[in-house]
Structure 1
């Protein structure tokens, strides 16, 4: 009996000592979101720029194919993504898949402003009682507004270059105002830089300075909701996956899956707006309402909603997972030393 009382006293003292130790040295808290204030900006920006350029370079052919499929009439050129890639490669080689890339690569500049705005807005909203999902939604919308204001002129020019792939090799294609609205002479032996300058000159001649911002409102209508929804859904999917996944599952893997799911959801919801944006920027036909009406008259619900959807879903899946992989990896590499132990890979 005395031995039992002694054992209970020893057990109680051991438990009290363990509890005291845990209070003095609490287990590290897992940081699921690395905030703007936690990072070394001198490391973050160079790494983010390099990562963004690499991802855009690797995935640009999908962007080009998506644009050409959206702008073709019915299935006059390509029956799908695989058919488009094989035909472009067969007729023009690798350079055909990267038509307009160097102009489009200026998106890297807007990307820096985009991510700075996103993180900055989230940082400011963090001073108030705002939920993470709402912070991500507002931050994503503001970031897209800033990014599109910078990139639309380059987007307009690069899409004119992209769509020339629909003209090349087609009898009378260069005279078709729908796919060659600038009336470019493709028989002239122009270098890529000369062709880009010619496109910029023709846009200015026909539409003035505002021609470089043709489709700007359509871009905002397509991309601001897309960006806001994507970041909010990314945060929401990540939170739900963290609840159901075992602790040994890589947090970075969970974030990549959450980004991909967010990309799929927003692509399905906003695809009609992206089709209208692409047509307005290249063809310059009136208003968003007119483009909607023309698409409905030409191709019905399929043309209005599903045109280029498979290409955009494929692009979105690759782009979302790649961007998140690069973005979240760079945040971990750039995080300040005092937070490093609290971040799980």
Structure 2
């Protein structure tokens, strides 16, 4: 298991201040979403583009959005995502941390190396958390993606998220909010497992490279060092997970923004 110094870099669910965890987590998530949301809009438009679509690259999509809608066009569906994703994130983080505690206890008797234990426990927790949160994430995805591509490449126009929801219910019923649910689970559960497994194991490997071994007592690393290691682990995890996510995510997005095709795919 981790050293006393490394143990201070780990989240202990039993001792965690849940109020700060959720409030700060929601705030950080909102801030990150504000910065990265335009990337999601551009990616979604590229994923649903047809061979006849004039905009074939990210730069051409950006120019097209700014020309027709201005900067607000880069944030279509943002309100829906924020309103729905905050409770979804709470579900995800709760499931992640509680499952991680159990998962570490499950793998500990096998005497795997520390990076392997971290990969297995974090991977199990990440997959479980993703499955639990999809019940909220998928409807938000369906609504926000329809808003992202409205009027683009022949897609219908809407008057906000409530208009999208009303039309989904009228055409497909409640099932329409879960269009692509199976693909979402297939996409994000393995992706979440890979992300958290890579994140947990890469951090431990980096700590070892920095001399924070598991067989010695050492002073706790500085906050800046912890942040740097965690950021590096996050980059490695993101790059690894994206390799398996992108193809299925493209299929899922096309399914979720399509109209009147529910029976074809289920």
Q: TM-score range by the shorter chain?
A: 0.7 to 0.9
Equivalent residue, structure 1, for 2:216: none
Equivalent residue, structure 2, for 1:271: 246
Choose 79-88 or 52-61, whichever is displaced more.
79-88
Equivalent residue, structure 2, for 1:62: 39
TM-score for the superposition, normalised by structure 1:
0.65
Match of 1:110 among 88, 99, 122: 88
- 1:37 and 1:123 in contact (8 A); partners too: no
Pairing 1:68-217 to 2, within 5 Å after superposition: 68-74=45-51, 76-105=53-82, 106-130=84-108, 131-167=117-153, 173=154, 179-180=155-156, 184=157, 194-217=159-182
**Structure 2 Cα separation of the partners of residues 231 and 269 of structure 1:** 14
- 1:110 and 1:147 in contact (8 A); partners too: yes
Equivalent residue, structure 2, for 1:41: 18
- 1:88 and 1:165 in contact (8 A); partners too: no
Q: Per-residue CA shift, 1:4-61, capped at 9, x if unaligned? A: xxxxxxxxxxxxxxxxxxxxxxx96332422212321122111111111111121110
Equivalent residue, structure 2, for 1:305: none
Equivalent residue, structure 1, for 2:218: none
For this pair of structures, how many residues does the alignment match?
A: 241
Gaps of 5+ in 2: 109-116, 213-220
**Structure 1 Cα separation of the partners of residues 96 and 54 of structure 2:** 39
Match of 2:200 among 232, 235, 245: 235
- 2:103 and 2:124 in contact (8 A); partners too: no
Helix, strand or coil: the match of 2:80?
helix
* Shift in alpha-carbon separation, 1:28–1:91, aligned structure 2, 3 A: same
Equivalent residue, structure 2, for 1:52: 29
Compute the RMSD of aligned alpha carbons: 2.2
TM-score for the superposition, normalised by structure 2:
0.83
Gaps of 5+ in 1: 1-26, 168-172, 174-178, 187-193, 289-345
- 1:234 and 1:259 in contact (8 A); partners too: yes
- 1:132 and 1:235 in contact (8 A); partners too: yes
**Structure 2 Cα separation of the partners of residues 151 and 163 of structure 1:** 18
Equivalent residue, structure 1, for 2:112: none
Pairing 1:12-51 to 2, within 5 Å after superposition: 29-31=5-7, 32-51=9-28
- 1:67 and 1:163 in contact (8 A); partners too: yes
Equivalent residue, structure 2, for 1:17: none
